[in-house]
Chain A
């Protein structure tokens, strides 16, 4: 008898979604769908708003990565007004981005993903969670909480708000960094760097080796990748060009404004979330055997498309990673590994920026004069490339907004990984909680 298994809500992710797995008469997986059930309509209700207000409106798209939206929007605003922010403003934006991302990576690795790895994917759900982690590894949990609080305090102390910030505006930032601010933050950034080094080592020694089999089997698909690189191919979170890589490693580079030549968005009747796809590879095909147009974003994508990392310790890790898994690396659970390599880079960059004397320059904002225009601003959010495309009238009021955001890029790939994982974990009508949680693990890797 055919039946449908509903995994709802998908848990330990950020957002609203469910998985429906349809079994055929023999109890094998006939179909899977990840239904995204939420839609808010930012692209419409931002129309009419002043461009300079946008960075503090669209940050509310995501409470986990508000800084990413805040900065992509500021950059789209820079372009609408036709201004280049002063170097110190860019350094402050980059510093805030790195600090915010450190908190984000620590949260995901230890509190959202680790329960599957430390407590175990088959464990009872009552202990397979953050409270279980706190009981199993109280000292580490304490450190995690402390480090997260530190990143929030650093952001709040300087920028007022850690979540839904107001610091960055078209033209720059709202206040300069004083020497006192810099001296207070530097030792904290160093502490974060030490913890990041510890996390990398801890995961490589205690977490990844045990799950090598799972890494090689769960949710594995071979598709393309999208990320941002500098002119010379170096990994960058804040600025550069977009690189879209095929599963075989060949790639196209393009500017932000060219995104519509390379990326289309498909709509399926069964999800509010659209399915971005690589236009030049053909019409989107979500078949597991022969996917077309599907690419992934987020950390694994970024370290795949980048020729090298931006900082020495992260580069050493990338080399070790590539020696083991190649380029591009396709195993889905390697997202967790890639996330920690990026964590290291964020911490190294935070220290670097705080050691840069230019960051305390008082020249931090170019005054703006409203004019009609268009601006496309992109940054790498923890979950992937953000594309904010704005048009405004001669009063500087928004007339059009198009947004393609982090996890949306991964929509097609997540559907494929779920299909793969469900087929691997459910056969002949046999499944249990553990099997269904493994299907969710294939989603969690993307940190949607």
Chain B
């Protein structure tokens, strides 16, 4: 499917949940959405639109915790970033790992490095440090001047 058509499609299906759309070119687009809509959108992309989950990237910024879920449509070469901004005090979002295994490790990693809580994750144990790191200390968090 053509990129413009696909974005139009997504906008119409998830109209209330889409906050911002940024299409850079035919192969790169970012969709900023409400955190509660991520499972639905991921399900649509994975099961209906033929997307593959690549990985997710977390960032700690002044806005709070941001996650970019990167999806790839290999037929068109499109990388679609589904972007959410989570609360900086209590960052949590529904896990995608019950839908596909691909997000299992990266969600554990984000939990460990950023302290983002993934609700209903099948096994949110530490992935990298295996108990060699203090609880409640998140190495990739930043400190911002208030």
* Chains A and B form a bound pair: no
